A and B are shown apart, each in its own frame.
Chain A
Amino acid sequence: EAQVTQNPRYLITVTGKKLTVTCSQNMNHEYMSWYRQDPGLGLRQIYYSMNVEVTDKGDVPEGYKVSRKEKRNFPLILESPSPNQTSLYFCASSTRGQGDGGYTFGSGTRLTVV
């Protein structure tokens, strides 16, 4: 089944403790992206990657890091999480071509930083 897999689904952590949220896709998509979703603010892009070893900042990159060493994986790293990073996070992937397909999203990771 074509899908984007995020782990973990839920995470509660303490301020300052480094964490990684994993994202993997099995569709050979070139494009991958991370979003956070907060009430009243909608989906905001954190980082995106057009291909292996190519990453760029989205609209809200502060406090986050990413890497794209393999085509299928795009982990999101929070080096020193803070309470304002409490949010619902989504990973998404797509082909770079502008065909009739859209983004495929993962099921989300609900992160709470206390």
Chain B
Amino acid sequence: SQKIEQNSEALNIQEGKTATLTCNYTNYSPAYLQWYRQDPGRGPVFLLLIRENEKEKRKERLKVTFDTTLKQSLFHITASQPADSATYLCALPMDSSYKLIFGSGTRLLVRP
């Protein structure tokens, strides 16, 4: 069955550094992958979508890569700020449908 893995350990970094989060998947060939941000007790907020034919996508301080050979996506936040502290989820579509399944997320803590 399809499986998505994100590092369950929190990532703790200093303000101004680049945060890099990883999303690995197995038994899958998704047409695209999405990243979301979730604050405690709140609904996830969509950040970026990257398609299988795109190696990299950027939005302001965010950068996402998608390696379909390694079955991995990397999510980078450059010049990180304490306000970036949150849990970040990756999500992939189930088979050819628009049904998304989500990873369990990685918590990012940015120290001032």
Write the residues of chain A forming the contact surface with B, with a CB cutoff of 8 angstroms.
4, 31, 33, 35, 40-43, 45, 48, 50, 58-59, 88, 90, 92, 94, 96, 98, 100-108, 110
Contact = CB atoms under 8 A, between A and B. Distances in A.
Given A40-B104, A42-B103, A43-B89, A98 B43 contact: no
Main secondary structure of the interface of B (DSSP, over half): strand
A40 B34 CA distance: 20
Given A101-B49, A102-B34, A102-B36, A90 B101 contact: no
Query: Which 9 residue pairs across A and B have the least CB separation, nearest first?
Result: A102-B46, A105-B43, A42-B104, A43-B102, A102-B34, A90-B43, A105-B44, A100-B49, A108-B43
Given A41-B104, A98-B31, A108 B41 contact: yes
Interface of B: 31-32, 34, 36, 41-47, 49, 89, 91, 93, 98-105
Contacts of B46: 101-104
Contacts, number: 58
Given A45-B101, A102-B34, A106-B43, 13 more contacts: A42-B103, A42-B105, A43-B89, A45-B99, A50-B98, A88-B41, A94-B98, A96-B98, A103-B34, A105-B44, A107-B43, A108-B41, A110-B41
Given A42-B102, A42-B103, A102 B42 contact: no
Given A98-B32, A102-B49, A103-B100, A43 B41 contact: no
A103 B99 contact: no
A75 B34 CA distance: 26
24 contacts: A4-B43, A31-B98, A40-B104, A41-B104, A42-B103, A43-B44, A43-B89, A45-B99, A59-B101, A90-B43, A98-B31, A100-B49, A101-B49, A102-B36, A103-B34, A103-B36, A103-B44, A103-B46, A103-B100, A104-B46, A107-B42, A107-B43, A108-B42, A110-B41
Nearest to B46: A102
Contacts of B98: 31, 50, 94, 96, 98
